[in-house]
Homo-oligomer: A and B are copies of this chain.
């Protein structure tokens, strides 16, 4: 049995309250008493029981992080940013991994309670409308990272401007001379409410429009988020009678599927077809993939900083910080081939 504060008090011949004061560096302890208590603490190898502390303080000293942790490399990178801030703090990081919509709903309902956590950080998961009132009135501060939804204005969040990113990626291709530009993405309506695909799509449409290029519905393909699925979709795209000369993929993982499809079909990248991805995950550099770099780590870091600020009441109105994505030009984009 570990020593308790009572054991220490007895050993040092003082009252409980005094030991507690020493532990909390209260100035209301005389140097000689402090020394005696510290000696007793050392002798008994005493460490305060965090659970008792939490109960007494009425705080959990815990931050809950809800994230679809593993389904995409980008989430892990955001989580790293979150952790980097938390490591310096007194808070523990409790991880709630969401792999199904059911899990998400359960966690959204149960985690943001004062008894569970002092703050909740939600990564890349947009709440459903019916969850909103509860989250907005939550007794616990909440920050969303990478959940861009029009109805979220009452919640604190850090987002990247996916529409602008989609626009830039597309504009890059247009600037190179492409006019047959396909877009390959996730479905817009997913059980997880991911909004990135749709926002990037809006940017894609906007860039086309600005350049006077008509949108061709058959050049937009979507499916579950995986390399294999993207490969299949890209094969369809690249065997169309009127073949796109460039593909903008909504993620690097999907861009890899496009590269595979091109390889399957004997098409050279970038000579025959250009490819742009999104995220700039680690592997993108190796592949020479032109892509949109998101500040993934940074967004997690910033989200956590916001949350800590809220918890310390240093923040009143809902804040929405926008981080910008940045085009990274590598070797998978070039002017389109001459087409008769």
**A residues adjacent to B (C-beta < 8 A):** 2, 47-52, 54-55, 60, 62, 69-70, 76-77, 79-80, 83, 87, 92-95, 97, 103, 110, 113-116, 139, 227, 256, 260, 283, 286
Selected from B49, B77, B80, B93, the residue in CB contact (under 8 A) with A115 is B49
Between A and B, 18 residue pairs with Cβ closer than 8 Å are A2-B115, A47-B110, A47-B115, A48-B115, A50-B115, A51-B54, A62-B94, A70-B76, A70-B77, A70-B80, A70-B83, A76-B76, A80-B97, A93-B95, A94-B95, A227-B286, A256-B286, A260-B286
Measured between beta carbons, the chain B residues less than 8 angstroms from A77 are 70
So how many copies of this chain end up in the complex? 2
Structural contact, A94 and B97, CB atoms closer than 8 A? no
What's the least CB distance linking A220 to chain B, in Å? 24
Identify which of A69, A80, A95, A114 gathers the most chain B CB atoms within 10 Å of its CB: A95
Measured between beta carbons, the chain B residues less than 8 angstroms from A79 are 70
Measured between beta carbons, the chain B residues less than 8 angstroms from A110 are 47
Selected from B2, B50, B55, the residue in CB contact (under 8 A) with A52 is B55
What's the least CB distance linking A299 to chain B, in Å? 15
Measured between beta carbons, the chain B residues less than 8 angstroms from A286 are 227, 256, 260
Identify which of A47, A49, A79, A256 gathers the most chain B CB atoms within 10 Å of its CB: A49
Measured between beta carbons, the chain B residues less than 8 angstroms from A113 are 2, 47
Measured between beta carbons, the chain B residues less than 8 angstroms from A116 are 50
Selected from B62, B69, B114, the residue in CB contact (under 8 A) with A2 is B114
Measured between beta carbons, the chain B residues less than 8 angstroms from A103 are 87
Selected from B52, B76, B83, B94, the residue in CB contact (under 8 A) with A92 is B94
Identify which of A52, A114, A115, A260 gathers the most chain B CB atoms within 10 Å of its CB: A115
Selected from B51, B93, B227, the residue in CB contact (under 8 A) with A55 is B51
Structural contact, A80 and B69, CB atoms closer than 8 A? yes
Measured between beta carbons, the chain B residues less than 8 angstroms from A70 are 76-77, 79-80, 83
Structural contact, A83 and B97, CB atoms closer than 8 A? yes
